[in-house]
Amino acid sequence: MQAAHTLVDTMRALVVRGLTTGTAGNASVRTGNGMLITPSGVEPEQLKPDSMVSMSLAGVTDDGPLKPSSEWQLHAAVYASRPDVDAIVHCHSRYATALACLHQAIPAFHYMIAVAGGDSIRCAPYATFGTEALATNALAALTDRKACLLGNHGQIACGSDLNDALNVATEVEVLAAQYIIALQTGTPILLERDEMDRVIAKFSHYGQPQARADD
C-alpha cells in the first residue's frame, strides 16, 4: 500500500526537518473504513511499510504484531469530525512546544499564520497524552483550523494528504520560532482581521496553503 510507504517517508522527514526526535511524534492517513497510523514506540529509522497499523476509528485494529500510536484517539477523533482532513501529523517540535508549555496561542504577527486556516494558531488546554480528553481539547482548538498547539505537549497539523500535513507542521514550527524571537525583541504588531481575511482568501484561491510563498 502506497500510504504505508508515505507514512514511513513522513516520519523520517519529521526527523530531517528537526520536528521530532526518538519515538516522539506520529502520523496517520485516512483509509476507506478507518485509518493507517504509525506504531507506538518505534523510531523512524526502524519503521517499515508493514510496521503501520490499520484500524477503525473506533479503535479496532487488524491482527498485526504492533500496537498503534498511543495518540490514535486524537487522530480518530479528527477524522470522525473533519471530513476535509485526510492526513495528520503530530510532533513535539522545539519552538511550537515551548509556546504550548506557556499555553500561548500564536496570533497574526505574520500573514503566514493563515497557513493554519485562520487569524491565529490556538493552543488547546492540557490533557494527558493518549486520552479522549486530549482529543476533545484538540478538536475544539482545531475548529476552522488545520493546526493547533497542544498545551504542555506539542502540535498537531492536518492536511489533504501527508505532504500537506507535514508542510503545515513545518510552517507552524517556523512561525513559532519567529514569534518567540519577535517577543524577545519587542511587542509584535498584529495584522488586522480584515487583512488576514484577504490573505486567507488568497491562499484558498491559489490552492497552496502549505507553501511558504511571497507575492
Q: Which residue has the cell 504542555?
A: 152
Q: Where are the domains of the chain?
A: 2-206
Using the Cα atoms of residue 68, residue 73, residue 79 and residue 85 in order, give the sign of their dihedral. negative
Least confident of 61-65, 77-81, 176-180, 204-208: 204-208
Nearest in space to 26 (alpha carbons), one of 16, 15, 39: 39
pLDDT digits (tens, 9 = 90+) for 77-125: 999 999 999 999 999 999 999 999 999 999 999 999 999 999 999 999 9
| 132 flagged as catalytic | no
Secondary structure letter of residue 91 according to DSSP:
E
What's the chain's Rg over C-alpha atoms?
Answer: 17
**What pLDDT was estimated at residue 35?**
98
Phi, psi of 53 (to 5 degrees): -110, 125
Residue 213 has pLDDT above 70, yes or no: no
**What pLDDT was estimated at residue 148?**
98
Arithmetic mean of pLDDT over the chain: 94
pTM: 0.93
**What pLDDT was estimated at residue 65?**
87
For residue 26, the surrounding DSSP H or E stretch is: strand 26-31
The average pLDDT across 16-42 equals: 95
Q: Which residues pair with 26 in a beta bridge?
A: 90
Selecting among 43, 45, 71, 173, the annotated active-site residue is 71
CATH class for the domain made up of 2-206: alpha beta
**What pLDDT was estimated at residue 64?**
82
Q: Which residues pair with 89 in a beta bridge?
A: 27, 157
Residue 210 has pLDDT above 60, yes or no: no
The rounded percent of the chain whose pLDDT value lies above 90 is 90
Phi, psi of 32 (to 5 degrees): -55, -40
User: Count of residues for the chain?
Assistant: 215
Least confident of 51-55, 125-129, 193-197, 208-212: 208-212
**What pLDDT was estimated at residue 209?**
42
Distance, in Å, from the CA atom of 30 to the CA atom of 101, rounded to the nearest integer, reads: 29
Helix (H, G, I), strand (E, B) or coil at 198: helix
For residue 37, the surrounding DSSP H or E stretch is: strand 34-37
